[in-house]
Chains A and B, each alone.
Chain A
Amino acid sequence: MPVDSPVVPVALTVNGKPERLEVDPRTTLLDALRDRLHLSGTKKGCGLGQCGACTVLVDGRRVVSCLTLAVMNDGASVTTIEGLGTPDALHPMQAAFVACDAFQCGYCTPGQILSAVALIDEGHAGSDEEIREHMSGNLCRCGAYANIVEAIRTVAGQEG
């Protein structure tokens, strides 16, 4: 017979704000963000790490939040799309995505943007080819890739 899940405490810093949660250990970081903290900017696309829609930054590195349990991230600092900017004060990458029309339906977009921000930090914006390769963990079914690359190139150029 299945056993009762004991609930486990987890402390996260999400977008700079400390959060304490009691979670079922089965809860992925993605589900904790979406269903517990109601930060639905982090998207669920496949639940298996195959689309990148759930990309967030954990301690500054981009990860797919569907393939890690919330409990495994105890003590970690998580940045979601809500932590980058607001509609009235967009992060430069968010602004570039709007300016370059780097999305259509918008569902993969938060993951793309977090991946893009991380990509520049990683130093992988050296060429369009390098950007394309290092953005390949984020599927965009609307096919906005060319504009996504343009948005990243623009921001990288400004920062460079």
Chain B
Amino acid sequence: MRAFTYERLDGDSAARRRADTTDSAYVAGGTDLLQLMQEGIAAPRALLDVSRVGTDGVTAELDGIRIGAGTRLTDAIEDPTVAARLPLVAEALAASASPQVRNMATIGGNLLQRTRCLYFRDVTTPCNKREPGSGCPAQAGENRLNAILGGSAHCIATHASDLAVALVALDAEVIVERRNGERSIRLADFYRLPGDTPHRETHLEPGDLITAVFVPIAATGLSSRYLKLRDRASFEWSLVSAAVALKIDDGEVTAARVAAGGVGTVPWRLPMVEDRLLGRTIDVATLQLAAEAAAEGVDPRPGNAFKVPLLVNAVARALAAVADQELAR
């Protein structure tokens, strides 16, 4: 690790001190940043510890549910409001990382975790995300774990967060504290597609601090399933995941929220799947037809073409599971 200065912020100092240069970084849980620093991928000169600025906790508000950015994943999973009204979020979090890491990692940090692309993580190889313009060896290399959606010639790195997949399905917003006040960004607009600037991953500006995520009331209380597929039974990032939340009234789909993980360069909402469900009467054929829309626009590489059928089948299976829950309701 390169030497850095360390400063712990509290609620007051956080308003004044900003990680507003490329050489400074916020740290809260540290579970990704420390890996990046140990491997020489990140080398901040100044570390601002925001773990005690008071952004933790879950609040049920009139128009939705707010999860503080400093909330540890375990605390979010165990929060009764999250468990009861955002089961998709709880399930995605419970499938994330390991119990130890979930005790450390925060909601805000989880949304900002960097990709697991093997070339990004190895500083001796080129990577446009790490060193703009250096190239993308994943295109014709070990890309089993890489994206089949949203990629470009410059980057096909997958977004690694399970939480973000669940949240993007639920139309969540990211609450950001900026020097001149607070603003809210739809999570769907929060991440940038790699295009030709894969090193720019979000719409955060220097100094911005995520303080919370907010899930609107309309997306709460839905039957849901977060289905995560991986090589081993636990403690692994997803090969493919499907986040599904549905409302079915009298056999007809009145709300459909579907997103996928492990497949996109950003958490990937699947509006075409939703379109094929909304207003339809639920049956096996409808679910299958809807799931097949998940593969619209895929651009696989030889090493990850298997993710296409895996994605369709994962969506189909998750849809069926949620439909069963709803019909049994």
Chain B contacts of A49 at CB under 8 A?
A: 31, 34-35, 98, 100-101
Chain B contacts of A138 at CB under 8 A?
A: 98
Chain B contacts of A6 at CB under 8 A?
A: 5
Q: Is A52 located at the chain interface by the 8 A CB criterion?
A: yes
Chain A contacts of B99 at CB under 8 A?
A: 62, 115, 118-119, 122, 124, 134, 136-137
Chain B contacts of A8 at CB under 8 A?
A: 6
Cα A116 to Cα B196 with chains together (Å): 47
Q: A48-B35, A67-B31, A69-B30 are in contact. Are A2 and B3 (CB under 8 A)?
A: yes
Chain A contacts of B30 at CB under 8 A?
A: 67-69, 72
Q: A28-B34, A49-B31, A63-B103 are in contact. Are A69 and B6 (CB under 8 A)?
A: yes
**A72 B51 Cβ-Cβ under 8 A:** yes
B74 to chain A: closest residue by CB: A61
Cα A26 to Cα B45 with chains together (Å): 11
Cα A3 to Cα B31 with chains together (Å): 24
Cα A63 to Cα B103 with chains together (Å): 6
- List CB contacts (< 8 Å) of B11-44 with chain A: 27, 29-31, 34-35, 38-39
**B104 A136 Cβ-Cβ under 8 A:** no
- Binary interface profile of A, 131-160, with partner B (CB < 8 Å = 1, else 0)? 011101110000000000000000000000
B1 to chain A: closest residue by CB: A26
Q: How many residues of A contact B (CB 8 A)?
A: 37
**B49 A133 Cβ-Cβ under 8 A:** no
Q: Is A14 located at the chain interface by the 8 A CB criterion?
A: no
**B34 A69 Cβ-Cβ under 8 A:** yes
Query: Interface extent on B, as a size class?
Result: 20 to 34
Cα A66 to Cα B104 with chains together (Å): 11
B36 to chain A: closest residue by CB: A48
- List CB contacts (< 8 Å) of A1-60 with chain B: 2-6, 8, 24-26, 28, 47-49, 52, 55
Q: Smallest Cβ distance from A3 to chain B, in angstroms?
A: 5
Q: A28-B34, A66-B34 are in contact. Are A71 and B104 (CB under 8 A)?
A: no
Q: Is A64 located at the chain interface by the 8 A CB criterion?
A: yes
Cα A118 to Cα B104 with chains together (Å): 14
Chain B contacts of A4 at CB under 8 A?
A: 3
Chain B contacts of A115 at CB under 8 A?
A: 99-100
**A137 B38 Cβ-Cβ under 8 A:** no
Q: Is B329 located at the chain interface by the 8 A CB criterion?
A: no
B37 to chain A: closest residue by CB: A26
Q: A25-B6, A69-B34, A136-B235 are in contact. Are A63 and B100 (CB under 8 A)?
A: yes
B72 to chain A: closest residue by CB: A61
Cα A66 to Cα B33 with chains together (Å): 12
Cα A153 to Cα B104 with chains together (Å): 26
Q: Is B47 located at the chain interface by the 8 A CB criterion?
A: yes
Pull 18 A–B residue pairs with CB atoms less than 8 Å apart, ordered by A.
Answer: A2-B2, A25-B6, A48-B35, A49-B31, A49-B98, A49-B100, A52-B98, A62-B99, A62-B100, A63-B104, A64-B101, A67-B29, A67-B35, A67-B101, A69-B30, A72-B27, A133-B234, A138-B98
Known pairs A3-B45, A63-B104, A71-B49 / 16 extra A-B pairs, C-beta < 8 Å: A8-B6, A26-B3, A48-B38, A62-B103, A63-B103, A67-B29, A67-B31, A67-B101, A67-B104, A68-B30, A69-B27, A69-B30, A69-B34, A74-B8, A137-B235, A138-B98
Going nearest first, the 8 A-B pairs with the smallest beta carbon separation are A137-B98, A136-B234, A25-B6, A5-B3, A26-B1, A136-B235, A67-B34, A64-B100
